[in-house]
Amino acid sequence: MNNKITPWEKVEIARNPKRKTAMDYIDNIFDEFIELHGDRTFKDDKAIVCGLAKIENQNFTIIAEQKGRTTKENIERNFGMPNPESYRKAIRFMKQAEKFNRPVITFIDTKGAYPGLGAEERGQGEAIAKSMFEMAKLKVPIISIVIGEGSSGGALAIGVANKVFMMENAIYSILSPEGYSSILWKDSSRYKEAAEKMRLTAEDLYEMKVIDKIIKEPAEVTEESFKKISKNIKNEIKKEITKMNKLSKEEIVQNRYEKFRNIQGFKRIEEGEEIKNVIRK
């Protein structure tokens, strides 16, 4: 593990525009991939990529948050911040996956759902909640992989999985360190201190049982090391899906329910004296 890297440094690594995107992982992990489009209600929002994939003889449904690298790509992908139609597209393919008995793999990498006026008018909050609701009761195995910046409801919306993997230098939290410090201390400049307190690193989240496995990676990923990382993830997916394919549909749903009921980290909220003091004020 990269224990010498501070939480804020991990935030910077996770946000690095050169970091591998969801499509990089999809291209390297799966033998085949076909992208599918649209929510059949409004439009095709490109901040989330959905499609069908295959590893050997096993078919999958893919739901992935996708950032761009260039300015043009980022505008096209809305900087990886999904609109409501992205989540409705995801729900459409979740239900399709259940119909055809395909496991679902999600890739989490967003600074949050898009907060624009149009997104709110089209029901951003409802779309996020509905996505989590549908995932919770889906009768096929789900694996979520946090590959970069997993922040806010934009990330949580596609993270209700039987197994959650996380890259060693990724982050996963309910909001950004800047947002945390602004709300808690009314001072956004304390973002480094906020990153320490939020426990948003893979090591912290594994300890709290929010995630199930840490995927090791170097601070600077080369093409050669990325192939090894992708092979490792591919093997982990195959192993976990083989196990879950032996479960009944009811057992798959129950397994997911028990995972989130047993997360130890939520108990720490009751011990958060700073939060209590803010509330009292």
Contact 198, 251 (CB under 8 A): no
Contact, 229 vs 97, CB < 8 A?
Answer: no
pLDDT score, position 4? 77
244 and 238 in contact (C-beta within 8 Å)? no
Residue 277 neighbours by CB distance under 10 Å: 10
Instruction: Tell the residue number behind the tokens 């946000």, with chain if given.
Output: 15
| C-alpha distance from residue 48 to each of 67, 202, 235, 264 (Å) | 9, 23, 24, 30
Handedness of CA 229, 234, 239, 245 (dihedral sign): positive
| pLDDT value of residue 276 | 47
pLDDT in tens, 123-178: 999 999 999 999 999 999 999 999 999 998 999 999 999 999 999 999 999 999 99
The pLDDT value recorded for residue 261 is: 87
- HSE-up (13 A, CA, CB side) for residue 2: 19
> Alpha helices, DSSP H only, in the chain?
7-15, 22-29, 71-76, 84-99, 117-121, 124-136, 152-156, 177-185, 191-198, 202-207, 223-244, 249-261, 273-280
- Amino acid of residue 256: R
Q: What's the topology of domain 7-280?
A: 2-enoyl-CoA Hydratase; Chain A, domain 1 (3.90.226)
H or E element at residue 19: none
What pLDDT, on the 0 to 100 scale, is given for residue 277?
47
What is d(CA 192, CA 215) in angstroms, rounded to the nearest whole number?
24
pLDDT truncated to tens, each residue of the chain (281 aa)?
445 789 999 999 999 999 999 999 999 999 999 999 999 999 999 999 999 999 999 999 999 999 998 999 999 999 999 999 999 999 999 999 999 999 999 999 999 999 999 999 999 999 999 999 999 999 999 999 999 999 989 999 999 999 999 999 999 999 999 999 999 999 989 999 999 999 999 999 999 999 999 999 988 889 999 999 999 999 999 999 999 999 999 999 999 999 998 875 444 444 454 444 443 44
Domain range annotation of the chain: 7-280
Residues 6+ apart with CB under 8 A from 92: 39, 40, 50
What was the pLDDT predicted at 259?
Answer: 92
Residue in the structure block whose two tokens are 């496991």: 103
- Among 202, 129, 128, CA closest to 169: 202
At residue 220, the pLDDT reads: 86
Would you state the pLDDT for residue 262? 82
pLDDT of residue 264: 57
